[in-house]
Amino acid sequence: MPRTADPDVRRRLVERAAQMLAAREPVTLRSLVEGTGASTMAVYTHFGGMPGLWRAVRQEGFTRLHTRLAAVPRTADPVHDVAALGVAYAANALASPALYRAMFDAVAELEDPAGADRGLAVLVGAVARAREEGRLAADADPIGVATRSWLAGHGLLSLVVQGVLPADVVPGHSVETTVALLTAAGDDPAACRASVARAWRAGVPDPGTDGPRGAGGPGL
């Protein structure tokens, strides 16, 4: 094989795209490579085109999300841990809203679809542990409960990220929905609320440097 491909170029371009996304700058083929020294053809050799670049960016977003979820510590209270994953999910989305939007803009197209499932798997594991430790009913469905939590969280955050809802409603709705879902799965209502509320009190997501904008900016 000739001229070994420089793997750094690929990473740098994805990184730069994510930065431009966070900076609300329009991510175009030419503006992306500008300043990197690379030419527009680099995007085609490494990604096959702009859709390929977006695919890579989305993948990067899901990788970061998984990293963040996997870093949530396991405590003695499994229900608290389930809620803590919700906090981490929200924090990740609010830290870079534009990336979150891009992730789900064409989420069906990913380089590694299984990579996106890994985040959900973390949540499923936490719910399963709650059941195993007796907090949920023996016939509770961890995948179903985790999926519904994820769906509700996504619905909430996708609207917050677009500026339809303010960020400060996230904890409230999240607590209520999580409590409702886990109580329906068998947890004691009072104990559940205490566990969930504690998780959200501990780590309210920081809006970050990249707050939601009022309208569709020039970027994606």
Partner DNA sequence: AAGCATTGCATAGCAATGCCATGTAACGTA
Partner DNA sequence: TACGTTACATGGCATTGCTATGCAATGCTT
Binding positions for a second copy, rule: CB under 8 A: 51, 104, 106-109, 144, 147-148, 150-156, 158-159, 162-164, 172-173, 176-177, 179-181, 183-184, 189, 214-216
- DSSP secondary structure code for residue 209 in this structure: T
* Site membership for DNA, residue 216 (CB under 7 A): no
Which partner in DNA, a second copy, none is near 114 (CB below 5 to 8 A by kind)?
A: none
* Site membership for DNA, residue 138 (CB under 7 A): no
- Cβ atoms of 129 and 77 within 8 Å: the answer is no
* Site membership for DNA, residue 41 (CB under 7 A): yes
Which partner in a second copy, DNA, none is near 3 (CB below 5 to 8 A by kind)?
A: DNA
List 11, 19, 23, 45, residue binding DNA (CB under 7 A) = 45
Which partner in a second copy, DNA, none is near 76 (CB below 5 to 8 A by kind)?
A: none
The DSSP H or E segment spanning 94 is: helix 78-95
* Site membership for DNA, residue 42 (CB under 7 A): yes
Measured distance CA(136)–CA(108) in Å, rounded: 32
Measured distance CA(150)–CA(110) in Å, rounded: 19
CA 157 to chain centre: 9
Q: How far is CA 6 from CA 13, 106, 161, in A?
A: 12, 28, 35
State both tokens at 39. 């030419």
Residues in the site for DNA, rule: CB under 7 A? Answer: 1-6, 9, 26-31, 33, 37-46, 49-51
